[in-house]
């Protein structure tokens, strides 16, 4: 009988761990979309136990021995296996840095805080969730310190590394500072130009939820998301979850404005398409996962912002909208939809922000959470700091905490280090779309027919099927010819918002 090699033993172990994480993902989706409020305590217990089981598998002494033995035999591995082994080592370093009781405590604290946040958000009462968030932040600081020591990184950088490996504060800060300078000059110009254009006309509702839901499903499937591998449900905060063969996306509906659900679903469809396109040969292995959250955000934003809001797609979509909702056809013309959905407005809510002001919301959160993790900012002072920071960047102050510090789920669920991925993803999406247009003839003509096939095919080959074989900048370099360059994003904004004719 042939005994499995050290690499094969590791592969089997990581497959088992991945299956546990998949179970957690489905329980997490259920908690947000289906679970009754009374199930929160039990669900927290379930998630904590699963997190502890997965962590336990990764820190067993056998793992260290197998890693050492497999690394000695590395010349026998192909490039995918060698990269997989490297990612296994990185995962092990992160895992052994964290005491099991801290992992379980975080899972419990995050679950409890997230449930309280839902009520606090509805009542705009930060004080209600403050004690739970203080516990979450205390544990995240412990996590960041432990990971930083193990990885030889600053604490906040160690958290960022968990979402977009290899991208740290020193990489992000100059990009964000440059964007602040760009925004200070570009935003007033865009607003002035917008004021000289005809005001957009809002389509007149109501728009029944059932019709919206049917249309959202149809558009998502037309973009390439298969019905037999996905679900569309409702939740307070839209998200994409589940697993690559069973992707769950959620949205929320407003019968006075169908755009919120429609564009939200297309955003989450971009995430789902990435998951569906990951290399099946390396499913449940580190190298088979997405290449980080900035890469993931680039895939949601290339669908929602680059494709769905393009002139070509809007021309086709307008006809679909009018066919669905009837009424006056004029508001569904591409020119009007463009003015409506590509409108610059200084707003309080990140998820509703336009492309130009959205990065300001991310930059603010990035800077605030750095201060929270370092201890320079305390949780009790967060609402005031939030309001001051938003006023400094956009000149507006939230009227209440629901429009301010309570609007996002991330911190209340223990997710620190995530926010930079949103804007890095937007910048990558612009760069990827420019490359796709150069390399794929007829891409915009296809979008003008509601056909995502050419774009999706290019993304499958250049992004999705690569998994985590490449780091973020190497992925960008192979797909576009150069690492991430924010100039593509600014050029996109210039063409869309600062030119005489909107692109």
In this predicted structure, the answer to whether residue 1 has a pLDDT above a threshold of 80 is no
What size, in residues, is the chain?
503
The reported pLDDT for the residue numbered 352 is 87
User: Any idea which residues carry the catalytic annotation?
Assistant: 268
Cis peptide before 320 (omega within 30 of 0): no
The distance of Cα 450 from the centroid of its chain, to the nearest Å, equals 24
Task: Find the helix or strand (DSSP H, E) in which 8 lies.
Answer: helix 6-33
Q: How confident is the model at residue 2 (pLDDT cuts 50, 70, 90)?
A: low
Rounded average pLDDT over 209-230 = 97
pLDDT tens digits for range 319-343: 999 999 999 999 999 999 999 999 9
What is residue 246's DSSP assignment?
Answer: E
The reported pLDDT for the residue numbered 238 is 86
pLDDT tens digits for range 237-253: 789 999 999 999 999 99
Residue 246's DSSP bridge partners are 243
What phi and psi values does residue 333 have, to the nearest 5 degrees? -65, 145
**How far is Cα 144 from Cα 132, in angstroms, rounded to an integer?**
18
The reported pLDDT for the residue numbered 23 is 97
Contact at 8 Å (CB) between 108 and 44? yes
Distances (CA, A) of 423 to 363, 394, 458: 8, 16, 22
The reported pLDDT for the residue numbered 236 is 78
Using CB atoms within 10 A of its CB, is residue 106 exposed (0-12), middle (13-18) or buried (19+)? buried
The reported pLDDT for the residue numbered 276 is 98
Among 42-46, 136-140, 261-265, 293-297, the minimum mean pLDDT is found in 42-46
Among 106-120, 124-138, 437-451, the minimum mean pLDDT is found in 106-120
Task: Give the tokens for residue 206.
Answer: 């109501």
The reported pLDDT for the residue numbered 366 is 98
In this predicted structure, the answer to whether residue 200 has a pLDDT above a threshold of 90 is yes
pLDDT tens digits for range 141-163: 999 999 999 999 999 999 999 99
Tally of CA atoms within 13 A in the half-sphere of 276 that contains its CB = 26
In this predicted structure, the answer to whether residue 480 has a pLDDT above a threshold of 70 is yes
Which residue has tokens 């869309």?
Answer: 496
Task: Give the tokens for residue 13.
Answer: 């172990």
The model carries a pTM of 0.92
The reported pLDDT for the residue numbered 503 is 59
């Amino acid at each position: 009988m042939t005994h499995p090699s050290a690499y094969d033993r590791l592969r089997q172990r990581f497959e088992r761990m991945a299956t546990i994480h998949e179970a957690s993902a489905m329980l997490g989706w259920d908690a947000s979309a289906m679970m009754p409020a009374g199930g929160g305590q039990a669900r927290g217990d379930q998630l904590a136990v699963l997190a502890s089981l997965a962590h336990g598998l990764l820190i067993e002494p056998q793992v260290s021995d197998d890693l050492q033995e497999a690394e000695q035999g590395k010349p026998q591995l192909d490039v995918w296996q060698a990269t997989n082994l490297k990612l296994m080592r990185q995962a092990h370093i992160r895992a052994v840095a964290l005491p099991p009781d801290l992992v379980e405590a975080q899972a419990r604290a995050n679950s409890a805080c997230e449930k309280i946040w839902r009520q606090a958000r509805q009542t705009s009462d930060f004080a209600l969730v403050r004690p739970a968030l203080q516990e979450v932040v205390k544990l995240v600081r412990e996590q960041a310190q432990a990971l930083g020591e193990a990885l030889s990184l600053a604490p906040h950088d160690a958290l960022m590394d968990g979402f977009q490996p290899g991208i740290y504060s020193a990489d992000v800060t100059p990009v964000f500072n440059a964007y602040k300078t760009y925004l200070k000059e570009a935003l007033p110009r865009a607003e002035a130009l917008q004021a000289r254009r005809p005001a957009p006309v809002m389509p007149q509702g109501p728009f029944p939820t059932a019709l919206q839901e049917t249309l959202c499903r149809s558009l998502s499937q037309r973009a390439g998301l298969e019905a037999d591998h996905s679900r569309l449900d409702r939740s307070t905060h839209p998200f994409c979850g589940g697993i690559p063969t069973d992707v769950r996306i959620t949205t929320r509906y407003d019968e006075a404005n169908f755009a919120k659900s429609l564009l939200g679903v297309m955003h989450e469809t971009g995430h789902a398409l990435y998951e569906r396109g990951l290399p099946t040969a390396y499913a449940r292995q580190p190298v088979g996962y997405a290449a980080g959250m900035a890469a993931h955000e680039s895939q949601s934003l290339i669908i929602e912002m680059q494709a769905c809001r393009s002139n070509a797609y809007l021309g086709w979509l307008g006809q679909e909208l009018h066919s669905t909702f009837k009424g006056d056809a004029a508001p569904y013309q591409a020119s009007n939809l463009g003015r409506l959905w590509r409108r610059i407005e200084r707003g309080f809510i990140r998820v509703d922000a336009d492309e130009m002001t959205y990065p300001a919301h991310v930059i603010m959160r990035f800077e605030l959470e750095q201060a929270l993790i370092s201890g320079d900012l305390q949780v009790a002072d967060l609402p005031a700091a939030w309001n001051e920071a938003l006023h400094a960047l956009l000149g507006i102050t939230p009227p209440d905490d629901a429009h301010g510090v309570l609007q996002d789920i991330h911190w209340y669920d223990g997710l620190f280090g995530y926010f930079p991925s949103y804007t890095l993803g937007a910048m990558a999406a612009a760069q990827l779309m420019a490359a796709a247009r150069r390399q794929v003839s007829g891409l915009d003509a296809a979008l003008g027919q509601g056909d995502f096939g050419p774009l999706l095919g290019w993304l499958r080959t250049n992004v999705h099927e690569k998994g985590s074989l490449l780091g973020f900048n190497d992925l960008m370099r192979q797909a576009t010819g150069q690492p991430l360059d924010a100039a593509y994003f600014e050029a996109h904004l210039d063409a869309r918002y600062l030119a005489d004719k909107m692109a």
